Structure 1
Amino acid sequence: MTFNPDTEIRSGNVSRAGGPRGGGGRGLAIGGGGGGCLLLVIVLVWAVAGGDVGDLLGGTATTSQGQDTSLAEQCRTGADANADDDCLVQATVESADAVWAALATEAQIRFVEPQALLFTDRVSTGCGAATSAVGPFYCPADRTIYIDTSFYGELTSRFGADGGQLAKEYVVAHEYGHHIQELQGTMDRIDPRATGPASDSVRLELQADCYAGVWANHASSATDDDGVAMLEPLSSDDIDSALSAASAVGDDHIQHDVSGGPVTPETWTHGSSEQRRAWFTTGYGSGDPRSCDTFDVEQP
């Protein structure tokens, strides 16, 4: 799925990190089960238990955040998004803003756009300090999506996604799904320390996958301020690309195929590759956020 080269993608809520931000809270990442992704699972439990994420990762939290405004000059049109991953993140957030603003009533939320921050290597957030090793994540404390776009190379070379455009956009749409959950109050109603295929943690992640599918369903109909369609219609190859990314970050795949260890379902925090594919497909097929109630089924 590529962006219309002529669409306007400049954003007021996406920037590049130019300084530290801080606080204490919890973060939610796209991956789980092993390696750097396992780190965020530890961070999540540590923060909920009352510790400081900055202490755990060796970071120092502060109270201000500088921003590099050059992103606004770099990323202006869909052609920029098709050529540059930083611009692709910005454009995907802009597209999701348009889609979810239109779906807000259906999703039973009072819609507020998230912030998104691109960073390199490490960043201090409202959830504490983090490094690129945790992968892309969403911080509810400051309602911000954090992405180091070097992850996209790792998503293909290490985790096995196909590297297509919708695979990359899925990453952003999944984290945006966590923002929708924050607006719905879902994060305040779950036990984030629980693990296993039917745990609250897994259900939360699978719902974010489903919300990513909802976005994909509507993405080609979203327009910029001038009424220009932001994204070109999806092809079957696009959907295969998104599903390859969903599979690549499944707990079972990361535990066995990536990390070379045994598959231990009782430790899962994000869901299996099959679960993640299935819930993305559910959201994409229906286009309806109400189809994404992963908490109302016996086995998600």
Structure 2
Amino acid sequence: MDFKDDVNLDSSQVEDVGGRGGGGFSGGGFPGGMVLGGGGIVGLIALVLVFVLNNLGGGGGDAEPAQKQPPAKLAEECKTGKDADQSEKCRVVGVVNSIQDYWKQEIPDYRTSKTILYSGSLRTGCGAASSAVGPFYCPSDQRVYLDLSFFDQLHSQFGAKGGPFAQAYVIAHEYGHHVQDLRGALQSDTGSSVPVELQADCYAGVWAHNAVRTGFYEKPFTQTEIAEALDAAAAVGDDRIQQRTSGRIDPESFTHGSSEQRVNAFQRGYQNGRPGDCEQSELGR
């Protein structure tokens, strides 16, 4: 996943707030539960991650002070694609830039959404958030929230192989929720969050198909890189998470879709690169 060395990065699309905290609670997650739409959050695995971390010994709540990092001055550190190839935070900037460049081309009235990098806890438009909920999108303030330590958890606690493109898939999934929000797809209550989550996976695949034409990458992604995304999607399938944490699978309680459904949704978007192929009614069959 090589960025063009001389491509300019727009660091204003990402803000690093470090570990300034401000959540004011323990146990991880949002008080009162996490809901879809109507001011609630949507994310890669947000509805189940607190339970998973507790069962796998990951705990919850604020990170230990030693784990908290000071904010980075992204405007100074992340200027070109060369920086994105050398720094994880700058890579996030580059990925976010590419994703939003694509959706700006696709949606005439697209509104830019900022990604907030943090550690520990912070307050959002959807309430107090802990890193224990994983990456998520908040419709109330139209921002993506990401604690970079999640990428280590994705490997150590969910069994994903990881890699730069697995990280890009996670970010693209969250921006898929932003696209849904702009299109009004988060406002209706369908009784299940699975179609919404699978559509975000499909939108991530659509971006991956079209990423090279945004001008941020040297060449199209390789099959090895796409495999990183598919492996990550499979790792966070409801069935695999349930099997890992409780030893049983209950499809009736799925919130994001099975491993197979998530992989298929990403592949559906990636195959032709058309957002129209990601209709919720066509996913999860």
Q: Same fold (TM over 0.5)?
A: yes
What is the aligned partner in structure 1 of residue 17 from structure 2?
A: 17
Task: Supply the distance in 1 between the matched residues of 2:156 and 2:102 (Cα, whole angstroms).
Answer: 31
Matches within 5 A, 1:129-208: 129-191=128-190, 194=191, 199=192, 201-208=193-200
Superposed displacement of residue 20, structure 1: 6.8
CA contact (8 A) 2:198 2:284 kept: no
What is the aligned partner in structure 1 of residue 227 from structure 2?
A: 240
CA offsets 1:195-218 (integer angstroms, 9 cap, x no match): xxxx3x000000000000000011
1:297 is aligned with what amino acid?
Answer: E
Distance 1:236 1:189, change over 3 A: same
3-state SS, counterpart of residue 221 of structure 1? helix
Q: For 2:45, which of 31, 36, 46 is the aligned residue?
A: 31
Matches within 5 A, 1:50-61: none
Distance 1:37 1:4, change over 3 A: farther
CA offsets 1:229-269 (integer angstroms, 9 cap, x no match): 43532111011111011111111111113x14311111111
What is the aligned partner in structure 2 of residue 269 from structure 1?
A: 255
Distance 1:12 1:299, change over 3 A: closer
CA contact (8 A) 1:25 1:128 kept: no
Of residues 178-187 and 27-36 in structure 1, the stretch that sits farther from structure 2 once superposed is 27-36
CA offsets 1:77-113 (integer angstroms, 9 cap, x no match): 22322232222211111001110011115xxxx2101
Distance 1:189 1:38, change over 3 A: farther
3-state SS, counterpart of residue 79 of structure 2? coil
Task: Supply the distance in 1 between the matched residues of 2:259 and 2:96 (Cα, whole angstroms).
Answer: 24
Q: For 1:90, which of 78, 90, 93 is the aligned residue?
A: 93
CA contact (8 A) 1:145 1:176 kept: yes
Distance 1:173 1:58, change over 3 A: closer
Q: Which runs of 5+ in 1 are unaligned?
A: 40-56, 60-66, 224-228
Superposed displacement of residue 36, structure 1: 2.1
3-state SS, counterpart of residue 111 of structure 1? coil
3-state SS, counterpart of residue 3 of structure 2? coil
Distance 1:80 1:37, change over 3 A: farther
Task: Supply the distance in 1 between the matched residues of 2:253 and 2:88 (Cα, whole angstroms).
Answer: 32
2:166 is aligned with what amino acid?
Answer: A
What is the aligned partner in structure 1 of residue 274 from structure 2?
A: 288
Taking structure 1 as the reference length, the TM-score comes to: 0.79
CA contact (8 A) 1:32 1:270 kept: no
CA offsets 1:105-147 (integer angstroms, 9 cap, x no match): 5xxxx21011110001112100001111110000000000000
Of residues 80-89 and 176-185 in structure 1, the stretch that sits farther from structure 2 once superposed is 80-89
Superposed displacement of residue 26, structure 1: 0.8
Taking structure 2 as the reference length, the TM-score comes to: 0.83
3-state SS, counterpart of residue 6 of structure 1? coil
Task: Supply the distance in 2 between the matched residues of 1:12 and 1:2 (Cα, whole angstroms).
Answer: 21
